[in-house]
């Protein structure tokens, strides 16, 4: 995991390495300062000349300034390094996701990806900052202070050999006991928050059924539970502070009593007053560093989970790749399926598509019809190589789709997906997705064919009207028409409409199909629909049932020979029949 | 992200209210904790006095090496110190444990109050506020509050007390030196204001930048398949890079400010230390008269502890400045939490209630137990009598006007009636006001003008819970709750037995798919039933309404497309649910409409056509156009 994450440091390698260096220099200075102060104190005590005092003070001031200098430098490089790592991680994740194949996309929920790219990265960023700064600083400080204490206090410093292990053991114990509780409680806390979210979103249901009190009871119980666990975790953690105080007090009592004894009995030879006060300073430094180390440790353990979630995204290699010498030309719009079988998951037992043999000529109009789960969408997604066939070969323009450059192939095979989305931006910006260099005339023509021009022109800003995120400010039918226009602008050799007119009224639907026929006569058109009306004038209609081709033929042929098709047709036309009676 | 510009309230008011609230939660524990904190703080400040005494003792005898002479005095001092330490430790242990209880207890009670208060808010609040924003009261704001209560508060009290005591001790030792330290504090204050302010400003901008990046990521991830289909990867990478670089820039600056604050304060402390040492030395050497409360002359036994005091003093001041960010965030969060708690709850002046009743010779009598017969109990204020009306399901609207926003009226002069058992369907384009009708019947919103009567009683007089019990609603968007399938059906009627729930599921046509689920009725649902299909979710919501068994139903058809077969099953479910009830159907697909007693065609909030299916088709008006597919319904 560390290796993968470290790859994203790149241009911030220098600052990342400089930070610990600066920190070390800062620590050296900080540890020398009490030493110098002890000297100063002794000078005062000995009644040294003013000249000597000033000299020592200047030295001290200089050391403080050097410490400030390196400390600030470390702070600056550390900020750059950690923010830089976060930036590169976000970039790498985003790029990795952009290169995902459909199969990879299916694996992650949107919300989970968003959390991974925000909260998780922030956690890693903070942990990295801690590692290059505090995790270096604290042990160094501990060691330096310890050495200095020995130099100054001699025998006295042995107390630290007693106190430090006690504190470390205590801290480790506290962390070891608190961490599992914390992990558990954070999961419960997430669930509690999820249930609040559910309540807010379902407020109409809650109020309609007058379930306010019931919801409260449910919530109170859950809140009580979370509170209990949180309190336990925090109570364990609350031992840290007194433990720390205990150690400081022990050291203070010892140094003051035994120190006084040593000073007096050795007549200031083994220890003097200045050194005694420095010893106390060093003890503070040591104990604080230990405390910091324990905090860093907690942060790092918490960041490990975030790190793993990030690495999972980074290491998810795209399951589709460009071939070494890709074909960059699509000869024509013919499509061939040769013994094609497909399943989404290699380990799944059931095939989604089984032994499909199908040959579509360039320029043909094909309708596909069938119930939910008949694998209509799966079938067409193989054409533009959104997924790879599990067995058999799919060919476009006579060439295996796996030999094409992906971009070339997808530019020539335009798919209007069933679950389609518009992006926040103007209508024009959305349409430009189809063709970056479209002219005004091309844009208008595409909208005209998709019957989108009529409502676009009613917007006060027409083509510059702003579309909200997810296209929430246009109706379902309008959204579908814009999506069709966007695909038309690609001027593809193959156009696939996956149930793309379901929310469009029947008359407009017919007009769109008519438009496609006249404006794109050369283009192969594949239309998936729920309504037989949408496909009945296609050259051929394919009836899919449970991943197999149940029948192929014209509307008339299928009506006569295909049971499934006839059934769908009759159920949908009963309404019109009723209407005729009325 | 808290929006401090939204509510401008003095911070002191918020703190006072928070403390009052905490005191009411923990009337004994809070003062005890406070006492322990104060004691602990005091004891950790006092040792400098003992230290001065001990060093003074050492000072007098170190040259003679006479340990026997001073040992009694030193040991006595150390013993007192040790006793104080033990007391302080006890206080420390107690307050740290109590603080954990108080923090989590306060958070729990606040959470519960927030949630309870939220249940009482009118639907309008949820319609006009971003759900993510409401949610952040429970996550960001509560977390910020936790930080403030559990860390900043004790730290501020301890530092405050320590600073005060140290100040006293300093003045006790030497006024001149105290002035020197005050000078240092002033510098620290200015530096904190400048650097700390910069960090706060940029952290705020960082939150905004994160918000933007988050929004972009969310949109891209949702449309990832479209991006692939249009080979738009490189463009979306470029857009992302722009936002990401911006975030990097502000995040870098914010952290730079924050990171240099530590070394700055630390070394200002060091410099101050030097100054104090030098000043002390000068005072001793020059023999200038010392000005102090104690009247002691400047000596080494004062200078040494004074140095330690300096360190402690500066340490505490910088502790305070490190807490400032947390306090600002915590206060903003607290203010937002209070603002939500202060929202006006849904008002209910209704006094007509729904009761169980028995009927004899056409005379209704109230009953304590379940009888299967329901009646409206209507007390008349004028003459003190009570009348009982049998719950039948007769709904009438008279000249109803309504607007969400007074400037934009939605419904005009709407009059219609539905006799018990009749079915009324609403048809019309988006924005015609169909869904609004559901909001009015169960009083999610109140009408601007006109009258709605249920069984002849003005619905304004009926207690809202009773009115809503008498109305069933199947909403357009299905919301299921975490729990088993059975729990979700039982939501319609908490007292329903398992058999009742299964019967309701059968009626709705949901039994078939439920029994095919891995654990049947005990299958756990999460994330709004993410493991179910759209159609299955609808079937469950129909079953939920069926188990409630109200005499009047409002069915708002789902708009999302489901395949023909599932649609037929859902349709059958709806049909059996409608049987024998007064039903209002908000039609989005016309298939439910045909056998309605009356179809009402709405256009821009006005009724433009009404009649039966056959009548309206014959009219060849708007309905005819819609029905033949010439117009988009949605």
Contact B89 A414 (CB under 8 A): no
Give chain A's length. Answer: 582
- The CA distance from A110 to the nearest CA of chain B, in Å, is 6
- The CA distance from B361 to the nearest CA of chain A, in Å, is 33
Q: What is the H or E stretch that residue A339 is in?
A: strand A335-342
Contact B468 A210 (CB under 8 A): yes
Q: Count Cβ–Cβ pairs < 8 Å, chain A vs chain B.
A: 414
Residue B2 has what pLDDT? Answer: 39
Of A99-103, A208-212, B472-476, B480-484, the one with minimum mean pLDDT is B472-476
Phi-psi region of A256 (alpha: psi -120 to 50; beta: other; left: phi over 0): alpha
Query: Which of A54, A273, A419 is the closest to B58 by Cβ?
Result: A273
Contact A507 B134 (CB under 8 A): no
Every domain of chain B with CATH number 3.40.50.300 lies at: 395-627
Q: Region A391-417: what's the mean pLDDT?
A: 90
> Which residue from A minimizes the CA distance to B59?
A273
Query: Which of B115, B228, B255 is the closest to A219 by Cβ?
Result: B115
Average pLDDT, chain A: 85
Q: What is the DSSP letter of B462?
A: B
Residues on chain A touching B544 (C-beta within 8 angstroms)? 209
* Angle (deg, nearest 10), helices A135-153 and A158-201: 160
Closest CA to B439 of B392, B484, B403: B403
Give the bridge partners for B128, in sequence order: none
Give B117-155 pLDDT, tens digit per residue. 999 899 888 888 877 778 888 887 888 898 889 888 888
Residues on chain A touching B312 (C-beta within 8 angstroms)? none
- Fold of the domain spanning B395-627: Rossmann fold (3.40.50)
For residue B46, CA distances in Å to A577, B33, B167, B298 come to: 97, 20, 11, 20
Give B199-239 pLDDT, tens digit per residue. 888 887 888 888 888 888 888 887 888 888 888 888 889 99
- Describe chain A by its helix, strand, coil percentages, rounded to 5: 65, 10, 25
DSSP codes joined into one string, B475-542: -SS----SEEHHHHHHTT-TT--HHHHHHHHHHHT-HHHHHHSTTGGG-EE-TTTTTS-HHHHHHHHH
HEC profile for A171-203? HHHHHHHHHHHHHHHHHHHHHHHHHHHHHHHCH
Closest CA to A411 of B155, B233, B153: B233
Sign of the torsion angle spanned by Cα atoms A525, A528, A534, A540: positive
Contact A91 B228 (CB under 8 A): no
When scoring B46, B49, B54, B62 by the number of chain A Cβ atoms within 10 A, the one with the most, hence best to mutate, is: B62
Give A176-210 pLDDT, tens digit per residue. 888 888 888 878 888 888 888 888 888 888 888 88
Contact B300 A410 (CB under 8 A): no
Alpha-carbon distance B142 to B156, whole Å? 20
For tokens 């695909």, the residue is: A487
Phi-psi region of B470 (alpha: psi -120 to 50; beta: other; left: phi over 0): alpha
> Which residue from A minimizes the CA distance to B306?
A277
Residue A518 has pLDDT above 70, yes or no: yes
Residues on chain A touching B629 (C-beta within 8 angstroms)? 505-507
For residue A486, CA distances in Å to A414, A448, B174 come to: 9, 12, 81
Residue B634 has what pLDDT? Answer: 45
Contact A86 B248 (CB under 8 A): yes
Contact A406 B548 (CB under 8 A): no
Q: How confident is the model at residue B4 (pLDDT cuts 50, 70, 90)?
A: very low
Query: Which of A30, A80, A267 is the closest to B65 by Cβ?
Result: A267
Every domain of chain A with CATH number 3.40.50.300 lies at: 335-419+493-581
> Which residue from B minimizes the CA distance to A260?
B58
- Fold of the domain spanning A2-315: ABC transporter transmembrane region fold (1.20.1560)
Give B379-415 pLDDT, tens digit per residue. 888 888 888 888 888 889 898 888 888 877 888 888 8
> Under CATH, domain B1-167+332-346 is a member of which superfamily?
ABC transporter type 1, transmembrane domain (1.20.1560.10)
Alpha-carbon distance B184 to A334, whole Å? 83
What is the pairing mode between strands A335-342 and A391-396?
antiparallel
Contact A201 B528 (CB under 8 A): yes
Every domain of chain A with CATH number 1.20.1560.10 lies at: 2-315
Contact B263 A74 (CB under 8 A): yes
Residue B565 has what pLDDT? Answer: 64
Give B330-369 pLDDT, tens digit per residue. 888 899 899 999 999 888 888 888 888 888 887 888 888 8
Task: Identify which of A78-87, A296-305, A532-541, A563-572 has the greatest average pLDDT.
Answer: A78-87
Residue B430 has what pLDDT? Answer: 60
Listed in sequence order, the residues at least 6 apart from A168 whose beta carbon sits closer than 8 Å to its beta carbon are A290
Contact B304 A273 (CB under 8 A): yes
Contact B244 A87 (CB under 8 A): yes
Residue B33 has what pLDDT? Answer: 93
> Which residue from B minimizes the CA distance to A511?
B630
Contact B256 A79 (CB under 8 A): yes
Contact A67 B527 (CB under 8 A): no
Q: Is B383 helix (H, G, I), strand (E, B) or coil?
A: coil
Residues on chain A touching B149 (C-beta within 8 angstroms)? none
- What is the value of ipTM here, to two decimals? 0.85
Average pLDDT, chain B: 83
What is the pairing mode between strands B582-586 and B423-427?
parallel
Every domain of chain B with CATH number 1.20.1560.10 lies at: 1-167+332-346
Beta carbons of A289 and A302 less than 8 angstroms apart: no
What is the pairing mode between strands B598-603 and B606-611?
antiparallel
Q: What is the H or E stretch that residue A139 is in?
A: helix A135-153
- In this structure, what token pair is assigned to residue A243? 């433990």
> Which residue from B minimizes the CA distance to A245?
B89
Residues on chain B touching A530 (C-beta within 8 angstroms)? 561, 563-564
> Which residue from B minimizes the CA distance to A236?
B97
Of A301-305, A312-316, B188-192, B439-443, the one with minimum mean pLDDT is A301-305
Query: Which of A433, A502, A507 is the closest to B230 by Cβ?
Result: A433
Give A444-487 pLDDT, tens digit per residue. 888 988 888 888 888 888 888 888 777 767 777 788 888 999 99
Q: What is the pTM of this model?
A: 0.78
Contact B150 A280 (CB under 8 A): no
Residue B3 has pLDDT above 50, yes or no: no
Residue B429 has what pLDDT? Answer: 67
Alpha-carbon distance A245 to B56, whole Å? 25
Domain A335-419+493-581: CATH class, spelled out? alpha beta
């Amino acid at each position: 995991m560390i290796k993968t994450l470290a790859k994203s440091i790149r241009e911030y390698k220098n600052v990342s390495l400089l930070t610990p260096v600066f920190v070390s220099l800062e620590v050296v200075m900080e540890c020398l300062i009490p030493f110098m102060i002890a000297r100063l104190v002794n000078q005062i005590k000995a009644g040294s000349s003013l000249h000597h005092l000033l000299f020592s003070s200047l030295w001290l001031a200089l050391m403080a300034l050097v410490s400030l200098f390196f400390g600030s430098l470390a702070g600056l490089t550390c900020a750059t390094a950690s923010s830089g790592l976060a930036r590169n991680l976000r970039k790498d994740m985003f790029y990795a996701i952009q290169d995902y194949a459909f199969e990879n996309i299916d694996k992650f929920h949107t919300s989970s990806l968003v959390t991974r790219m925000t909260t998780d990265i922030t956690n890693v960023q903070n942990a990295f900052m801690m590692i290059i700064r505090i995790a270096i600083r604290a042990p160094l400080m501990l060691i330096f202070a310890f050495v200095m204490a020995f130099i100054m206090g001699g025998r006295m410093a042995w107390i630290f050999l007693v106190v430090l292990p006690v504190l470390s053991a205590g801290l480790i114990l506290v962390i070891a006991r608190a961490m599992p509780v914390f992990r558990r409680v954070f999961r419960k806390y997430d669930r509690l928050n999820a249930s609040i979210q559910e309540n807010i979103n379902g407020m109409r249901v809650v109020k309609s059924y007058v379930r306010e009190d019931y919801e409260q009871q449910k919530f109170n119980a859950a809140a009580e539970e979370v509170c209990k666990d949180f309190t336990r975790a925090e109570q364990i953690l609350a031992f840290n502070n007194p433990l720390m105080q205990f150690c400081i007090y022990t050291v203070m009592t010892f140094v003051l009593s035994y120190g006084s004894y040593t000073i007096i009995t050795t007549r200031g030879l083994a220890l003097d007053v200045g050194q005694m006060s420095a010893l106390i300073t060093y003890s503070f430094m040591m104990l604080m560093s230990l405390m910091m180390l324990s905090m860093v440790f907690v942060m790092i353990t918490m960041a490990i989970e975030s790190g793993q979630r990030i690495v999972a995204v980074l290491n998810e290699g795209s399951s589709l790749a460009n071939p070494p010498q890709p074909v960059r030309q699509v000869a024509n719009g013919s499509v061939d399926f040769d013994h094609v079988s497909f399943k989404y998951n290699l380990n799944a037992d059931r095939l989604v598509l089984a032994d499909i043999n199908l040959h579509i000529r360039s320029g043909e109009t094909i309708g596909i019809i069938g119930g939910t789960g008949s694998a209509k969408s799966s079938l067409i997604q193989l054409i533009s190589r959104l997924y790879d066939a599990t067995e058999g070969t799919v060919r476009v323009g006579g060439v295996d789709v796996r030999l094409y450059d992906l971009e070339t192939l997808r530019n020539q095979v335009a798919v209007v997906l069933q679950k389609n989305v518009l992006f926040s931006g103007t209508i024009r910006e959305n349409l430009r997705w189809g063709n970056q260099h479209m002219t005004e005339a091309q844009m208008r023509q595409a909208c005209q064919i998709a019957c989108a021009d009529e409502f676009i022109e009613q917007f006060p800003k027409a083509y510059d009207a702003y579309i909200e995120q997810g296209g929430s400010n246009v109706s379902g039918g309008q959204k579908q028409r814009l999506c069709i226009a966007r695909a038309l602008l690609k001027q593809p050799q193959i156009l696939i409409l996956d149930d793309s007119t379901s929310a469009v009224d029947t008359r407009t639907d017919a007009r769109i199909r008519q438009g496609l026929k006249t404006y794109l006569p050369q283009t192969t058109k594949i239309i998936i629909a729920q309504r037989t009306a949408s496909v009945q004038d296609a050259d051929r209609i394919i009836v899919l049932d449970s991943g197999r081709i149940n029948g192929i033929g014209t509307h008339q042929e299928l009506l006569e020979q295909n049971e499934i098709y006839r059934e769908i047709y009759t159920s949908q036309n009963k309404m019109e029949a009723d209407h005729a009676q009325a | 992200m808290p929006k401090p510009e939204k509510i401008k309230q003095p911070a002191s008011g918020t703190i006072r209210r928070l403390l009052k609230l905490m005191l009411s939660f923990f009337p004994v524990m809070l003062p005890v904790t406070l006492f322990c904190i104060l004691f602990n703080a005091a004891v950790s400040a006092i040792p400098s006095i003992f230290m001065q005494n001990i060093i003074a003792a050492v000072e007098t005898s170190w040259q003679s090496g006479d340990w026997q002479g001073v040992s009694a005095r030193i040991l006595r001092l150390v013993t007192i110190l040790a006793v104080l330490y033990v007391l302080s430790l006890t206080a420390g242990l107690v307050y740290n444990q109590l603080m954990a209880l108080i923090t989590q207890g306060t958070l729990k009670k606040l959470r519960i109050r927030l949630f309870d208060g939220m249940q009482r808010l009118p639907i309008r609040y949820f319609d006009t506020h971003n759900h993510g924003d409401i949610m952040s009261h429970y996550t960001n704001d509560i977390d910020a509050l936790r930080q403030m209560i559990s860390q900043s508060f004790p730290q501020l009290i301890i530092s405050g007390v320590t600073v005060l005591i140290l100040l006293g001790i300093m003045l006790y030792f030497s006024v001149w030196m105290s002035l020197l330290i005050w000078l240092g504090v002033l510098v620290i204050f200015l530096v904190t204001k400048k650097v700390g302010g910069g960090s706060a400003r940029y952290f705020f901008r960082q939150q905004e930048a994160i918000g933007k990046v988050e929004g972009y990521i969310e949109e891209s991830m949702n449309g990832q398949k479209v991006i692939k289909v249009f080979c738009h990867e490189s463009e979306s990478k470029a857009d992302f890079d722009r936002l990401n670089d911006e975030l990097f820039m502000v995040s870098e600056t914010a952290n730079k400010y924050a990171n240099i604050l530590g070394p700055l304060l630390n070394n200002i402390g060091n410099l101050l230390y030097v100054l104090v040492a030098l000043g002390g030395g000068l005072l001793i050497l020059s023999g200038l008269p010392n000005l102090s409360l104690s009247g002691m002359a400047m000596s080494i036994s004062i200078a040494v502890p004074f140095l330690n005091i300096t360190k402690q003093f500066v340490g505490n001041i910088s502790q305070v400045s490190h807490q400032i960010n947390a306090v600002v965030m915590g206060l903003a969060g607290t203010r937002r939490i209070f603002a939500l708690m202060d929202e006006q709850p849904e008002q209910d002046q209704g006094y007509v209630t729904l009761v169980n009743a028995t009927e004899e010779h056409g005379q209704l009598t109230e009953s304590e137990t379940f009888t299967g017969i329901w009646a409206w109990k209507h007390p008349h204020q004028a003459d003190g009598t009570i009348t009982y009306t049998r719950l039948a399901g007769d709904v009438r609207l008279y000249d109803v006007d309504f607007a969400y926003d007074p400037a934009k009226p939605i419904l005009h002069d709407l009059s219609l009636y539905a006799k018990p058992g009749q079915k009324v369907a609403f048809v019309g384009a988006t924005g015609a006001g169909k869904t609004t009708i559901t909001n009015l019947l169960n009083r999610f919103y109140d009408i601007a003008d006109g009258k709605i009567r249920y069984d002849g009683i003005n619905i304004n007089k009926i207690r809202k819970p009773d009115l809503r019990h008498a109305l069933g609603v199947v909403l357009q968007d299905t919301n299921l709750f975490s729990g088993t399938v059975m729990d979700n059906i039982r939501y319609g009627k908490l007292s329903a037995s398992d058999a009742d729930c299964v019967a309701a599921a059968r009626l709705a046509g949901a039994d078939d798919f439920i029994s095919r689920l891995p654990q049947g009725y005990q299958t756990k649902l999460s994330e709004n039933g993410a493991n179910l299909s759209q159609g299955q979710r609808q079937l469950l919501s129909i079953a939920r309404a069926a188990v409630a068994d109200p005499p009047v139903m409002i069915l708002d058809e789902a708009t999302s497309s489901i395949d023909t077969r599932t649609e037929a099953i859902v349709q059958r479910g709806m049909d059996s649910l409608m049987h024998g009830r007064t039903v209002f159907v908000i039609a989005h697909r016309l298939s439910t409409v045909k056998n309605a007693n009356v179809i009402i065609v709405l256009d821009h909030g006005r009724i433009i056509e009404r009649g039966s299916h056959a009548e309206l088709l014959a009219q060849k008006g708007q309905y005819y156009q819609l029905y033949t597919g010439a117009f988009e319904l949605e």
